[in-house]
Amino acid sequence: MNVLDRFSLAGKVVLVTGASGGLGAGFAVALAQAGADVVLAARRRAGLEAAAAEIEKVGRGALAVETNVTDPDACRAAVQLAVDGFGHLDVLINNAGLGTAVPALREAPEQFRQVIEVNLLGAYWMAQAAAQVMPPGSAIVNIASVLGLVKSYLPQAAYAASKAGLIGLTRDLNQQWSGRRGIRVNAVAPGYFRSEMTEAVPPEKLRDFIASTSTLGRMGEQHELDAAVVFLASPASSYIAGVTLAVDGGMSGH
């Protein structure tokens, strides 16, 4: 087999959470470009429809599913819709996430809990639901963050805790499922990419912070993260299991 063929997702069905916009919508299109049919799951219907239209332009099947990852029943329903729509489910991209920047002494309990419920518990409920139906050879890719590994520019205790927890969850689920069920579980830890969260920071301050903490000295581009997600979702990474791949311009190794 040609090595490039190992990156193909032809014949695979992928479910992407948080796919109504931003990085998640980008992942969905990239996975479709690699040959997958894609189930897009998020709370915002309009964004899902737009992402689905982009996937259809690539020539792949798309199914938009409104869901709330904090509800285990909704996660199971989304997975069932994927199976009903395409016959099987081979890859889960746990991307749904919420970011806040609140000083710890002023963060309300409900603010902290909401971040944990979406970023950590939501990923767990969706992985749990997906693993019930995934065949051997499947893959789960959790979208963590470099802030689960290193300090943040902003006060983000809830976000950092949720992403560090997601990295730990990745290791444990892989320990349970990779050998026994044939489901590899890995994570990607993105550095600073353009998003709603980074747009709230004055550009010059963020630029200076990135320049001083990363070796490449710049923000990442969507395609650079897409490539890592497709890699971990595809057979190209068939001997990689339980790892967190930092895509951060050298920030965590600086």
The catalytic site residues sit at: 159
Using alpha carbons, list the distances in angstroms from residue 245 to 66, 93, 104.
29, 14, 28
Count of C-beta atoms within a 10 Å radius of residue 84: 9
Distance CA 194, CA 243 (A): 24
Contact 111, 100 (CB under 8 A): yes
* Residue 53 in tokens: 């239209």
Sequence-separated (6 or more) residues with CB below 8 Å from residue 126: 15, 17, 69, 75, 78, 79, 92, 94, 96
Query: CB burial class (10 A; 0-12, 13-18, 19+) of residue 200?
Result: exposed
Using alpha carbons, list the distances in angstroms from residue 46 to 20, 56, 69, 109.
8, 16, 18, 31
